[in-house]
């Protein structure tokens, strides 16, 4: 079992990128396994190769390392390039702000050797560290950046999103599954392309999980896989968080319906009255009772994303007054 590390990046934060690359270069190489590291520059304004040369001069990685470029924007396109440029039977996806613990690859090999029925797995323990000065209230919102802590191995093949299913951060997958997933992308079955410079949608990792389940593999959250998620201060502003939450919640319904077409007709459809009721209850709880305007804004972004995405997936109306709030709040 050989491993391909794929890290996709666009215009990375220098400090987060350095710490991520240093952590990856420091990973222990499993005995008897071949490891390769493919860094995909998703058409950054300044070539990432220059940053690598600046931060790691005269450095020799402990495994095969190369930098490739993908000009088409979108995380999916970058990962597709990494897939084409790599050969390992297990793919480990890192982001440019992930700082994995040293035994990550060893634990990945143990997992897939021991459980041949597991097709996708990710870390059960993700800590969030803010880089730079941030507002104190952000300490209560680390969950938005995928912070999680669990000491149990959990896995399932249930065809609905479960809370322990692994997000894209540190996600690992069998190459056979990722190849099948890309075939569905190529033939138009799946359309989620991931985040781009102008879009915060992120449902491509959701579709990968469901692709594995449809292939009768289990999906796992692994306590021995741990990493630190480094969040640059520029990603902690209220405008950024609003767009992040809207992007995640609005992209899920269509992504799910593409995986399970028979569910499209039973997705929730939100009438104007139902939207009004939901938004009023949110306002009442977060503003009038808890007096928490930030919590209200964030939950509003999530709810509008969920409503917009569900109505869009159902082929319904998304042009009502309520959806004008999306533009007004600059969620897209």
- Beta carbons of 56 and 21 less than 8 angstroms apart: yes
| pLDDT on residue 286 | 84
Whether 58 and 104 share a structural domain:
yes
pLDDT band at 220 (very low <50, low <70, confident <90, very high): very high
Q: 236, 268, 295: which is the final residue of a domain?
A: 236
Whether 101 and 206 share a structural domain:
yes
Q: What is the pTM of this model?
A: 0.92
Whether 179 and 288 share a structural domain:
no
Higher pLDDT, 289 or 69: 69
Percent of the chain at pLDDT exceeding 70 = 97
| pLDDT on residue 203 | 86
Q: 236, 261, 295: which is the final residue of a domain?
A: 236
Four-residue CA torsion sign, 154, 155, 158, 159: positive
Whether 118 and 230 share a structural domain:
yes
pLDDT band at 317 (very low <50, low <70, confident <90, very high): low
Write out the two tokens for 264: 């499209």
Tell me the mean pLDDT in the region 102-125.
Answer: 98
Tell me the mean pLDDT in the region 216-224.
Answer: 98
Instruction: Give Cα separations from 179 to 70, 91, 123 (angstroms).
Output: 18, 11, 22
pLDDT band at 241 (very low <50, low <70, confident <90, very high): very high
| Residue-number span of the structural domain to which 51 is assigned | 3-236
Whether 190 and 75 share a structural domain:
yes
Across 89-103, 127-141, 289-303, least confident range = 289-303
Whether 228 and 269 share a structural domain:
no
CA distance linking residue 202 with residue 40, whole number of Å: 18
- Beta carbons of 280 and 288 less than 8 angstroms apart: no
Number of domains in the chain: 2
CB atoms within 10 A of CB 210: 24
Instruction: Give Cα separations from 112 to 51, 104, 189, 225, 271 (angstroms).
Output: 34, 13, 28, 13, 46
Whether 21 and 101 share a structural domain:
yes
39: CATH: 3.90.550.10
| pLDDT on residue 276 | 86
Whether 308 and 194 share a structural domain:
no
| pLDDT on residue 327 | 84
CA distance linking residue 3 with residue 91, whole number of Å: 6
Whether 178 and 100 share a structural domain:
yes
Over residues 131-189, the pLDDT tens digits come to 999 999 999 999 999 999 999 999 999 999 999 999 889 999 999 999 999 999 999 99
Over residues 254-263, the pLDDT tens digits come to 999 999 999 9
Please give the mean pLDDT across all residues of the chain. 92
| pLDDT on residue 193 | 65
- Beta carbons of 240 and 298 less than 8 angstroms apart: no
Q: 216, 236, 256: which is the final residue of a domain?
A: 236
| pLDDT on residue 197 | 65
Spatial neighbors of 197 by CB under 8 A, at least 6 apart, are 10, 73
Whether 121 and 224 share a structural domain:
yes
pLDDT band at 90 (very low <50, low <70, confident <90, very high): very high
pLDDT band at 196 (very low <50, low <70, confident <90, very high): low
Strand partners, 221: 122, 154
Tell me the mean pLDDT in the region 51-62.
Answer: 93
| pLDDT on residue 187 | 95
| pLDDT on residue 218 | 98
Whether 213 and 290 share a structural domain:
no
pLDDT band at 303 (very low <50, low <70, confident <90, very high): very high
Whether 208 and 268 share a structural domain:
no
| pLDDT on residue 64 | 96
């Amino acid at each position: 079992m050989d491993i391909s590390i794929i890290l996709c990046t666009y215009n990375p934060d220098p400090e987060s990128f350095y710490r991520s690359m240093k952590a990856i270069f420091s990973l222990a190489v499993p005995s008897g396994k071949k490891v390769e590291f493919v860094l995909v520059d998703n058409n950054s304004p300044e070539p990432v190769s220059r940053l690598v040369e600046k931060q790691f001069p005269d450095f020799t990685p402990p495994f095969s390392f190369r930098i490739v470029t993908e000009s088409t924007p979108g995380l999916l396109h970058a990962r597709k390039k990494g897939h084409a440029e790599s050969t390992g039977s297990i793919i480990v996806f890192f982001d440019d702000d992930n700082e994995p613990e040293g035994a990550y690859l060893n634990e990945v090999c143990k997992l897939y050797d021991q459980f041949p029925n597991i097709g996708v797995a990710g870390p059960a323990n993700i800590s969030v560290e803010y880089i730079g000065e941030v507002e104190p209230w952000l300490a209560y919102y680390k969950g938005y950046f995928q912070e999680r802590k669990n000491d149990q191995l959990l896995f399932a093949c249930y065809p609905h999103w479960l809370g322990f299913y692994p997000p894209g951060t540190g996600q690992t997958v069998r190459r056979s599954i990722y190849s099948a997933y890309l075939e569905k992308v190529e033939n138009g079955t799946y359309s989620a392309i991931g985040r781009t410079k102008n879009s915060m949608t992120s449902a491509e990792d959701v579709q990968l999980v469901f692709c594995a389940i449809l292939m009768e593999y289990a999906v796992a959250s692994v306590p021995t896989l741990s990493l630190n998620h480094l969040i640059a201060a520029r990603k902690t502003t209220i405008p950024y968080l609003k767009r992040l939450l809207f992007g995640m919640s609005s992209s899920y319904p269509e992504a799910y319906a593409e995986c399970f077409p028979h569910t499209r007709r039973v997705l929730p459809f939100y009438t104007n009255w139902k939207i009004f009721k939901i938004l009023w209850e949110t306002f009442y709880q977060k503003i009038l009772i808890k007096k928490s305007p930030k919590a209200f804004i964030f939950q509003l972004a999530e709810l509008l994303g969920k409503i917009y995405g569900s109505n869009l997936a159902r082929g319904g109306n998304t042009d009502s007054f309520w959806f004008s709030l999306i533009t007004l709040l600059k969620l897209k």
